[in-house]
Structure 1
Amino acid sequence: MRERLRNSPVMYAFGMLAMMIPSTAFGSFYSYFYVEKLGLGIGLATLARTIYLIWDAVNQPLFGYLSDRTNTRYGRRRPWIIGAIPLFMLSFIFIFTVPPGLAGYALFAWFLIALVLFEAVATVLWVNYGALFPELFQGDRPRAKASAIQQGFQIIALLIGTALTPILFGAMGFSRMSMIFAVAFALFMLLCMWSVKENEQARSVQPMGFKESFKETLQNKPFWIFNIANSFAQTVNGLISSMIPFYAKYVLQIPEYQVSILLGSIFISVIPLVGVWYWLIRKMDQVRGWRLSLLAYALSVIPLWFSTSLISGIVAGILFGFGLAGFLVTPPVVSSIIIDQDFAKTGRRREGMYTAIGGFITRSSGLISALAFLLVGMIFGYESGDNPGADPETTFRYLVSIVPLTLLVISFIVSLFVKLERTPKHESQILNYKL
């Protein structure tokens, strides 16, 4: 049975399910928890994100380089992932288990430490899990299929992490909610790792030195343009998911328990829409399909401006889901082409370095998201749940519609400069890399 499931797209996708459940709960509710519930000022919350980003700039390429140089009989990526499982569980619980009475700078210190620990361990997991994708799945069609399945699992995780989270923390508190999700993460990730067998050939190739590898990556123009475009779109993912609880409270004016209904309707609709984007990406050039997804994503955030109730919010959310589904499916396929071309040029598999630096660029979107929250909040007077200002409704209309639309238009424009040519030489070298 294990051999039949070895490196199957479904089993690999369980890793996405594992990481995205707690990551979605974190991304959607950490701001709401610390700012709205605990009263941490958005200025201090933004400062914490900035400090984290400086740390993230260092650890991303470092972990990618170390992953590429790892050579054990268990593989290059699996030992890192398995070793990080208990640390990720503990750090996730730490974020949502705040001692009673913390406020002001003490609360800021707790938040900062929790954020740095969680993101460091998350980096190890995402770098190594992402590096497996181009190695395990070779060719455009297998990758498109694997990406669609993976993103289907991601949507399930988004549904669980957003819609179920308010129910759990409403019933048992944030701390116990985090414990349940931590256990679910461990079970699904171990199931994924049980089925993964890495390529022996990748371990036999002498890895590049850090300076050479970093220099080669820096000189890859399509890689940088692709990830810069993605970073603006990724900002929208994080911004809207973290703003939905505020949007539900101040714009739609629905009770907290109905947030699950709103989020559930969005992400349930995304599951079949992933299949639509899989069909589209198979019918066209992958880079063009990626650009089309960015354009669709930009148009999909406009209806959120006009929503005034739970029903209109659900309708707008379903339309938003079409754009989100496209952005979830298309980037992994394009990223794998970039990594393949690097392999054709250098003869080295450097998925770890590319995944790490690409991850840093896209995860830096968290700072853009935090700055947008801070600036729009300052303009309209929102400081925290204790002091929401005179017009919190307009604050969160801008944060879920106008700001995302602007970011996605920038992302689409940048994407026009990505040029990837598939040559016979590239194809032949890649096809010789057998699993």
Structure 2
Amino acid sequence: MTTHGDHDGAVESATAVAPMPGTPAGARPTGLPETSGRPGTPPARYAVGMFGTSIPINMFTAFMAYFYIVELGMDGRAYAAVMGVYAVIDAIDNPVYGYLSDRTRSRWGRRRPWMILAAPILAISFILFFSPPTGLEGTTLIVWFAVFTVLTGTSDSLVNANYGALLPELFPNERRRAVANSLRQGFQLVAMIISVALTPMITTAIGYSRTAMIFGAVAAVVIIFCALGAREDPRALSAEQPRLLDSLRVIVANRKFWLIAVTSGLYSAGMALVIAAVAFFVKYTLRLPEGNATYLLATVIGISAMCLLLWTRLVRRYGPEPIWRIALIVLALALASMSLANSLATAIVCGALVGLGYSGVMATMDLIVARLLDEDTARTGVRREGMFLSAFGFFNRLNAFVKSLGFLAVAALFGFHSGDDTGTRPDEAARFLLSTFPFVLVTCAAILSRFVRFDRGAAAEIVPTGTIDGPAGAEVAEAAAVHDPNTGARVSDDDPPAAPRQAGEPPRA
């Protein structure tokens, strides 16, 4: 579904120019000038970028451990050590890239130049990661692994710090944002089917290096195509540049940021470990050929894709917060059920449940983050989506550190070090990586999500609808959803928005 933003210009001029608390009605915040109507970015054009960003990094995260530990014989403890260092570097570079993106001012926009620059770097480093020279072993193999792990990860961070920051800017209306997010998650699932579920079969046929060449080239083309089609808000170029220390203070002082960031990081780490562990689980627990991992991965991803529309409809009716919490609970229970799988058939059934929960979190996680960004922009009048999303990326990128803890744990508990030194209980080690550890992580995420609350009515008070006449005011009230801006009463997205309160009119009882 592709729609054009004929009405988004009105919504953007209403939401993105919110007056600061205490600003007289009708006043505009400093640094955000009037804007003429501009055509919106088609949701599908933006969403396809997720296919480009996902196809290399999914193969990278899913098969890096298996490729270097099992295929090349690198010691799992060396893998864990490199991933620990990489996690720190990858977490630090996210805020740096976000800060640079927010402060960029160019005729091409703030985000697009960075995406176009990073796309070929990501493709080349990804290809070289899966193409080590023949004969590398020991220290030289570890060095190669470390260098291209960092280069692939940091170029991916640069792409995503800018791609993710475009979502709230391009689609300020929450309903249209939900459509764009659903489309991009759909593209991500298609990418996962290709780069995760089908990769065992593809690499068996043509090898890891050629597979990476194809995926890398496709990724670069799609990312650049997405960037060229993104129509950034021209007001952002003349808006006040966010100051680093001020932004850090605002982010660190925001309680909801910490709750959402840790929740997202735990969930992200849990699923990253699940995807990385599937090949180990199939080989050592189910004792089946590596290619059978395709069936299990395809089940998880396929069910996720089929359920995405269902979750999106629930989000549009009830709002993202309650659906987010339910999805995390479903995912945690599904991961627990994986510990009972003892055949490919039972693993596929449990994997379908994992796909159900995974789909729900995918449909809601970015919308929860976008709500926080809306709230910050409304309260401060400063656009710092890049800094906020990169701060979230700091926690999400720590999943590499958590993955390293998982492999250290199986080395200590089960004696599993590499494909040449699996210890006496490799089946239990693989089950621990796939089910036990991820279940603990996602359960903690589900508990923390209970403490995240947004008062959309309060946000509407910060962005007074009374200062906006006509359809734009109604759009703002609609975008506020969940709580009516006039009464504070909860409403569904199917209810018509209440008439906007006029400037100077006291809150209605």
- Identify the TM-score tier after normalising by the shorter chain: over 0.9
Q: Which residue of 1 aligns with 2:236?
A: 202
Unaligned runs of 5+ in 1: none
2:354 alignment partner, SS class: helix
Q: Which residue of 1 aligns with 2:298?
A: 264
Q: State the one-letter code of the partner of 1:92.
A: F
Unaligned runs of 5+ in 2: 6-38, 477-509
Q: State the one-letter code of the partner of 1:10.
A: A
Q: From 100, 110, 134, give the equivalent of 2:144.
A: 110
The Cα shift of 1:6 comes to 5.3
Whole-angstrom CA distance in 1 between matches of 2:3 and 2:47 = 16
Whole-angstrom CA distance in 2 between matches of 1:162 and 1:365 = 18
Instruction: Report which of the two structures shows the higher radius of gyration computed on alpha carbons.
Output: 2
Q: Structure 2 matches for 1:43-62, cutoff 5 A?
A: 43-62=77-96
Whole-angstrom CA distance in 1 between matches of 2:410 and 2:399 = 16
Q: State the one-letter code of the partner of 1:44.
A: A
Q: TM-score, normalised by structure 2?
A: 0.82
Q: State the one-letter code of the partner of 2:411.
A: G
Q: Structure 2 matches for 1:19-418, cutoff 5 A?
A: 19-418=53-452
The Cα shift of 1:324 comes to 0.6
Q: State the one-letter code of the partner of 2:161.
A: V
The Cα shift of 1:270 comes to 1.4
1:56 alignment partner, SS class: helix
The Cα shift of 1:287 comes to 1.7
Greater helix share, 1 or 2?
1
Contact 1:344-1:425 at 8 Å conserved across structures = no
Deviation larger for 237-246 or 185-194: 185-194
Whole-angstrom CA distance in 2 between matches of 1:253 and 1:108 = 28
Contact 2:277-2:433 at 8 Å conserved across structures = yes
2:452 alignment partner, SS class: coil
2:365 alignment partner, SS class: helix
Q: State the one-letter code of the partner of 2:216.
A: A
Deviation larger for 145-154 or 31-40: 145-154
The Cα shift of 1:318 comes to 1.0
State the identity as a percent. 34
Q: Which residue of 2 aligns with 1:15?
A: 49
Contact 1:254-1:309 at 8 Å conserved across structures = no
Whole-angstrom CA distance in 2 between matches of 1:123 and 1:279 = 30
1:58/1:235 CA distance change after superposition, 3 Å: closer
Q: State the one-letter code of the partner of 1:346.
A: T
Contact 1:53-1:364 at 8 Å conserved across structures = yes
Contact 1:222-1:418 at 8 Å conserved across structures = yes
Q: State the one-letter code of the partner of 1:22.
A: P
Q: Which residue of 2 aligns with 1:419?
A: 453
Contact 1:10-1:150 at 8 Å conserved across structures = yes
1:66/1:43 CA distance change after superposition, 3 Å: same
Whole-angstrom CA distance in 2 between matches of 1:426 and 1:230 = 27
Equivalenced residue count is: 434
Q: Cα RMSD over matched residues?
A: 2.0
1:173 alignment partner, SS class: helix
Contact 2:270-2:438 at 8 Å conserved across structures = yes
Whole-angstrom CA distance in 1 between matches of 2:439 and 2:87 = 24
What are the Cα deviations for residues 1-47 of structure 1, in whole angstroms up to 9, with x where unaligned?
A: 99899512211111100111111111110000011111111111111
Contact 1:253-1:309 at 8 Å conserved across structures = no
Whole-angstrom CA distance in 2 between matches of 1:205 and 1:76 = 12
Q: State the one-letter code of the partner of 2:345.
A: I
Whole-angstrom CA distance in 2 between matches of 1:28 and 1:59 = 22
1:72 alignment partner, SS class: coil
Whole-angstrom CA distance in 2 between matches of 1:172 and 1:29 = 15
